[in-house]
Amino acid sequence: MEAHQAAAIEAQIPYLAAMKDKPLSYSGFPELENLAIDWRSMPVRNARALPGGGPTLQQHGFTAVAHRSAVTRFDLSEAWHDAFKAEIIAVLQAATGASEVVVPAVSYRKVDMPGSFGAAQFCHNDFTAGSAARHIAGLDPATAERRLAGRFAVFNI
């Protein structure tokens, strides 16, 4: 058995089960949700232990990048947004070689802070092939045709 396989543990992971109704998710407000959750036992491994030095965007679709932010106070104010967006752009350009990076928004997720929503409590994908294109078109309709005519990627960081 390879070293990265030996390090696997089994964990119960929540997935969205098939539903007749459209799923509604409001993280932090479970009383508004109608989610059917399907708990599955899945192997979990340390991605940094993958052979070859860890995960790569090219092979695995994700990677780990070391970065220490200059932003020292993350809160609900917008005072830190511009500096953080500039850091995101620099990190993504270095990791991907992208000629253009668009950061539409940043969010601060802390469930116990008024006005802030926590992370989703189940496995999900924020974008599909179709929704990513709609999202890009909605960001800036004037540049959408040019952006969508070439190669593009959508990343959560």
The domain segmentation of the chain, as residue ranges, is 3-124
- With a threshold of 0.85, does the pTM exceed it? no
Could you tell me if 102 and 86 are in contact, meaning their C-beta atoms sit under 8 angstroms apart?
A: no
Residue 1: pLDDT band (50, 70, 90) is very low
Residues 6+ apart with CB under 8 A from 108: 74, 75, 76, 116
Give the whole-angstrom CA distance, residue 96 versus residue 14: 31
Model confidence over 30-73: pLDDT tens digits?
A: 888 999 999 999 999 888 888 888 898 888 888 888 899 999 98
Helix, strand, coil shares, percent, the chain, to 5: 30, 10, 55
